[in-house]
Structure 1
Amino acid sequence: MSDSRARFGRIALGVLIVGLAFHNLVMAELWDAGVHGSSLDVAAAWKDVLLAAALVVALLSARTLPLGTWADRLALAYAVVVLVYWLLPQGWLDGGATQRGELFAARHHLIPVAAYFFGRLLVLTPISWRRLSLLLAAVAVALALLGLADVYLVSLQWWRDSGVPGWFGEQLGLAYNGLSGLPENWVFNTGDENNPIRRLVSTFLSPLATAYVLVIVLLYLVARRRTWWTVTAAAIAYAGLLWTHTRAAYLALALGLVVLAAAQRRWLPVALAAASLVVGVAFVKAFPHIGPSTSYTQAELVFLRAQGQKTPGVSDDPLSAGDASTASHLRNLRAGLRVVVHHPQGFGLGNAGVNASRTGVRVKAGESTYTEIGVDTGALGLLAFCGWLVAVLVLLWRRSAWLSAAWASMLAIGIQTDVIGVHWIAYVLFAFAGVAIGGGLPHDDAEA
């Protein structure tokens, strides 16, 4: 790749690392400023245009698509299956998706493939890698500090009156009824109507997306040799992770640390994993007493009481398998697995997850990455996708301990969450995986 084209790719990756972390907040502010409809859709497409341009520039320089590994071939096979299912008439598969929903789903499935091949063609110099490393750490620190400042200094009413409800509800078509148009998971319901607790959502406007990105960067910081700035950044990022109150992320971090320990053949990450689990459990128990308290409006209380009557017997203990969140995840996972098993041919793109919800279509499976892919692309697409992810993990094991750990963590999180629906992960993590597999990740002092 020529110097100018390679430089464009490196800059594009840096812009995606930072820009995607602030994307939702900026879009909500634009909505609040009066930018709505197609105009805001165009603005929100900046990330897709940038990735497409970077991939095209890389392909023009390389003159070929890299297909030298099984990971490459399975990525391409998965993309082909997605395209075939996009072309198949919905009626053939008993699907009910709209053309708009199919388009959303095609983009959702193909972005990780495009990011992966972009990374495969990108080579990072030691200088560019160090700069990107600093961006990763800076993003994690910013997410934690801004999120902590928000939950303690900015009232929930300010957010109710902001552009966030409009961005999610009117622009994206995601109906949130329990918190005046804000996502319900912004608040941890303690069971006490007078003491709901704010969760850290930061610039992602989501505790889950924020938590998953913090896990990835924390694993990177632990993988490096310890310096004053890596330890400081890790401490701040870990505090932010705790305040997201995302138990799946706590478990994913512990899993990632164990994988990191195995990849680097050192015991410190194992000790950190054990310590993190202990701290996580203690924090979950203490959170209702030390977390930033907020309050519900009367309309929200009416809605929540009605919802509570529909799900009697749900535990308020966050460490119980019967609490509302865990019960919901397990219920959705079981339902999605049943659908995939009984309808292995799939229903066609746009029948699962957020893409179905946004377009008013009955959601045949939600939350889990794997059940959503099984619904959209059938068993064939699911097999290609899972094969691709496993092949990537095998190759990363020989090339990057950090990415091996981060990849394993995201594979685990994908069981209960649409992990590729988190844009930062779909673009950035998949691109870095491609870079590492392509041999474009410098072997300097990045890892211990």
Structure 2
Amino acid sequence: MHDIRAIREDPAAFDAALARRGLGPVSEYLLALDSERRLAIHAAEKFQAEANVAAKAVGKAKAEGNEELFEQLRSAVANKKDLVAENERQAKEADLRLTQALMEIPNLPHDDTPDGADETQNVELHRWGTPRVFDFTPREHYEIAGVLPGMDFELAAKLSGARFVVLRGAVARLHRALAQFMLDTHIEENGLTETWTPVLVRPEMMLGTGQLPKFGEDSYETTNGWWLVPTAEVTLTNVVHDETVDEASLPRRMVAHTQCFRSEAGSAGRDTAGMLRQHQFEKVEMVSITHPDHSRAELDRMTACAEGILERLGLPYRTVVLCTGDMGFGARRTHDIEVWLPGQNTYREISSVSVCGDFQARRMNARFRPEGGGKPQFVHTLNGSGLAVGRCLIAVLENGQQADGSVRLPDALHPYLGGRTMLQADGTLG
């Protein structure tokens, strides 16, 4: 959420920043609501002061036995109180409309975020690894012989419908091994604190990270008002919801492995084959809560943590910075990491790492106390996949596939698979 005081101070700069995201000017409308709210607050305070003065005069008139003046003053006090109540109502209504409007305006892009209209104008930062040259036509993950016994879409459709999968046997174990490998790496090498969180949250938690109110259709709400998390970003970030922490406790770096749930609204017809785009999936999510001065550097650190997982697995990837027209609602700058999928002969997103500045912190009312004293300040928040487990499984299967339908597995996973090195063509580990 945005600071109305900053908009007041420089509305032209605010509109110019939004224009970089392809949005028209909104400061005039916001400032009109702000003015309406402030005028109503001022009027309520003025009438309250007048009522207080009149109330003192009422007592004096009563003591002096002046009944006529007493009745006049008492009526005036009642009238002033009615005016106070009416202006407080108007102020509350204007404040609600202002807050709702601010809640639906995306974050302002960072100065070093490239301008652009859509994904075609994203900027590549670097590549790692060389895509393998196959002496046969590589298959997509769900077509590989060794995968077929362990990846069942028909059963999932019977149980739940489209965009679900049932994993079994060696494929299920490989999926689990990937998640454990990611967690261990982030905890032992990258200094993140493992955190286990619920997947059902209150609506104010979704509001805090920006999934509500604008993007409610993208997630699932239960009949009693809870929401299924689309990512552990929601729970990990809201750890500091409505809290003021000590500066010395920053940065807070957390990681969680959770089930995630997305309705995939608006993605009809996209990636319907295989398990690239699912309603239920798993992610290892990273979240950092930082001092404002350190958040931009933290973005680069978190990006390197996610890239390191792919490098340890030997999976070629490229990292791009999203342009203003392709960036998510709450982000100021986003790095997408795209892994090479030979079955599709292209790079596909496997991680998105974003710095949000104080955008989420304002929604959550999350602050820190400066060590040297002074007024509490809003923290900065960052989030990123480290990585999407299902998509990483796809990449391992497709990049390691052999002509006979088996899959050679990355060395980093061997300890998690009892020393086994292959997914064999019959679907067993060997």
Q: Do both share a fold (TM > 0.5)? A: no
Counting strand residues as a fraction of each chain, which structure ranks higher? 2
Larger radius of gyration: 2
Counting helix residues as a fraction of each chain, which structure ranks higher? 1
TM normalised by structure 2 equals 0.24
Higher RCO structure (Cα 8 Å, ≥6 apart): 1
TM normalised by structure 1 equals 0.23
